[in-house]
Structure 1
Amino acid sequence: MIEWRKQLGFDDGDIARIRSPIGLVPGAKSRPTLAIGILAEFASEAKQAGLID
């Protein structure tokens, strides 16, 4: 996967910022549960970046 991303033009810095799996909640079996996990990740990142209180 890393080589594929490099072929697409991503550099090592870009690749280092990739975090996965986003939104995966252990035991989640429904789309709403996965969506909440993704939104929680966004909120966490926004808070760390100082975009929200």
Structure 2
Amino acid sequence: MAHASAIAQPTQVEVEDRLAFADAALALAGHEVTDPMLRTMEEATAAFRLVELR
């Protein structure tokens, strides 16, 4: 059974803003995402595309 998503897909600008916010928050805590897979997951989360990671 397919389910329709009621959440609108974010624009590229919104995704970039979310990533910038997450990067800034991590930097304030002294952290940085350097693992390519974690970065891919972070980008997918910001764009509401977690299903595509399977």
TM-score range, shorter chain: 0.3 to 0.5
Greater helix percent: which structure?
A: 2
**Largest Rg, 1 or 2:** 1
Bigger relative CO (Cα 8 Å, ≥ 6 apart)? 2
